[in-house]
Amino acid sequence: MMQSKVKGKYFAVDFDGTIVKETEGSFITDKSKFQEIEYGTVATLIDIQKSGGYVIIFTCRSGSVLEPAIQWLKEKGFTPNGVNRNIMPEFANLETSNKVIADVYLDNRSWPAFPGWKEFRKEWLPDRPLVLPAFPKIDR
């Protein structure tokens, strides 16, 4: 089986349209309305970190529009290594640019287009089967 390729890599990941479903108009700030773009998206972000990679949320959101997005991720069990800032040691103090330095950029509006999380897992995490938390039992 192929090995994971994420160890030591930095991933800049967009939020709207890449992690959660995008909406027309303004950004959603009601956390209850966020929906993963694909089943297992947040689990994949967690697996990137477990495999030695780093995840930077790189989004147009800021301030009061950014906070609900980060809180939602944390409530799902994922804490990013950075948000809209450089975390690579050699660029961590770079204050002259808004560009986040990363090895891989995952964004639904990139070219070539981001293929989705299922394809990402096949390429970058082939040795980590997707494991999702069990749904709570509902008594009827």
**CA dihedral sign, ordered 24, 30, 33, 36:** positive
**133: cis peptide before it, omega within 30°?**
no
Asked if 82 contacts 45 with a C-beta cutoff of 8 angstroms, the reply is: no
Q: What is the pLDDT of residue 130?
A: 82
Q: Find all residues with CB under 8 Å of 109, minimum gap 6, and list them.
A: 14, 17
Give residue 30's pLDDT band: very low, low, confident or very high (50, 70, 90).
Answer: confident
Q: Domains along the chain?
A: 10-124 (3.40.50.1000)
90-133 pLDDT, tens digit each: 776 766 667 888 999 999 988 888 899 999 999 999 988 887 66
Per-residue model confidence as pLDDT tens digits over 31-52: 888 988 888 999 999 999 999 9
C-alpha to C-alpha distance for 103 and 62, rounded to whole angstroms? 23
